Amino acid sequence: MRPTYLEVNLAQLKQNVEAIRAHVAPAKVMPMVKANAYGHGIDGVAPFIEPFVDYLGVALVEEGIHLRQLGIKKPILVAGGILIEQLPLFLEHDLTLTASSPELLAAADEMAESTRKQLKVHLKIDTGMERVGVRDYEAESFLLKSFACRHLSLEGIYTHLANSETPDRKYSVMQLERFQEVLRIYEKNSVPVPIRHVCNSGGILNLPEAHFDMVRPGVLFYGVYPGREALRSVNVKPALTWRSRVAYSKVTLPGRPVSYGSLWQAESPARIVTIPCGYADGYFRRMTNQAQVIVKGKKYPQVGRICMDQFMVNLGADHAEVGDEAILLGEGVTVEDLAAWAGTNEYEVMTNISARVPRVFL
């Protein structure tokens, strides 16, 4: 096997789910497993975690189909935008549709009628994200149309929080109030309220009054908090360790620049080791001369331009041989560290770990 691989602690993911469930009880838990389970590897994560969750959430219909092919039986919500021509796939694979417009809702009802099959639907309300969904101030006519859909199973209604990870709750509370105003349309029309869900990871931590009937943990499920300012009101831990090994070890002399662009050179003789991992694996090129790597249990600076398939680490006067272990993430190097070095967020770090990096599931 390739010496660079991602180790995924499935038992830790289970503990994270249990911690989230205890915090939001009696609400159901629907972890988001889109984007290859946030880089953790959907093929290993989904079958393991299925018995411990109520629902699974994805962004693409193809991701939902893949879960069914893995043997997943639990309900699967496709939360991303879809095209009308994709609707038959929802019936074929028993997927739950996000109806984000009156047109999509009508097309879904018409298809369900023509096939004589019921399609499960969650209505999407836009309370301030301005991405997809019917805006809250236009929701009454949308809900009235949904009440008239006789061939759909209108199972849920939800919205998405735009700023839930920040300590300032003002915008999230405003979104919640808009959503609650929409929910009053059910009461006004004497229609039972379906499953209500609002909270992403930040909402789970910061907005307990919005837990409602179900929550949708994303990064929190994977043991990462959604931003440095987010409350730590649920005790979760990361499940990833990104491991590699030294592929080459040499002493570099002053005046001999390291890697493309000659961006770094040693001031005195230094032990430079090469790690067989690069930006094609998701180890961002923009971390050049900023990242740190653990080699033989000690942290050292990455030096020289990060290449497509390799990068170099400066051990100074220390020694390492070919085959010695290197830790790129975990055991003292956090997702937050990589995000800071790359100038991005934790989500992009995890979801950009390439499919060519093998996943090993513990």
**Do residues 108 and 121 make contact, with C-beta atoms less than 8 angstroms apart?**
yes
Nearest-angstrom CA–CA distance, 24 and 229: 20
pLDDT of residue 228: 83
Q: Is residue 228 part of a domain?
A: no
Does 181 share its domain with 289? Answer: no
Does 32 share its domain with 156? Answer: yes
User: Which of 34, 55, 120, 283 is flagged as catalytic?
Assistant: 34
222 is catalytic: no
Does 123 share its domain with 26? Answer: yes
From residue 110, alpha-carbon distances to 87, 94, 133, 276 in Å are: 11, 17, 20, 54
Does 48 share its domain with 154? Answer: yes
Q: Is residue 234 part of a domain?
A: no
Does 267 share its domain with 200? Answer: no
User: Which of 137, 237, 260, 298 is flagged as catalytic?
Assistant: 260
Does 209 share its domain with 273? Answer: no
Does 37 share its domain with 166? Answer: yes
Tell me the per-residue pLDDT of 205-229, one tens digit each, with 9 for 90 and over: 999 999 999 999 999 999 999 988 8
Give the domain extent around 326.
240-361
Q: Is residue 149 part of a domain?
A: yes
Nearest-angstrom CA–CA distance, 67 and 301: 40
Does 187 share its domain with 244? Answer: no
Q: Is residue 3 part of a domain?
A: no
Question: Residue 336: CA atoms inside 13 Å, Cβ hemisphere, count?
Answer: 12
Count of structural domains, the chain: 2
pLDDT of residue 229: 84
Does 211 share its domain with 256? Answer: no
Of 215, 248, 281, the domain-final residue: 215
Q: Is residue 87 part of a domain?
A: yes
CATH code for the domain in which residue 331 is found: 2.40.37.10
Contacts of 230 (CB under 8 A, 6+ apart): 165, 166, 201, 202, 205, 206
Does 52 share its domain with 179? Answer: yes
pLDDT of residue 227: 85
Q: Which parts of the chain have pLDDT scores under 70?
A: none
Q: What is the mean pLDDT of the chain?
A: 97
**Helix, strand, coil percent values for the chain (each to nearest 5):** 35, 25, 40
34 is catalytic: yes
Does 205 share its domain with 253? Answer: no
pLDDT of residue 230: 87
CATH code for the domain in which residue 119 is found: 3.20.20.10
pTM, two decimals, is 0.94
Using DSSP's 3-state secondary structure scheme, residue 274 falls into: strand
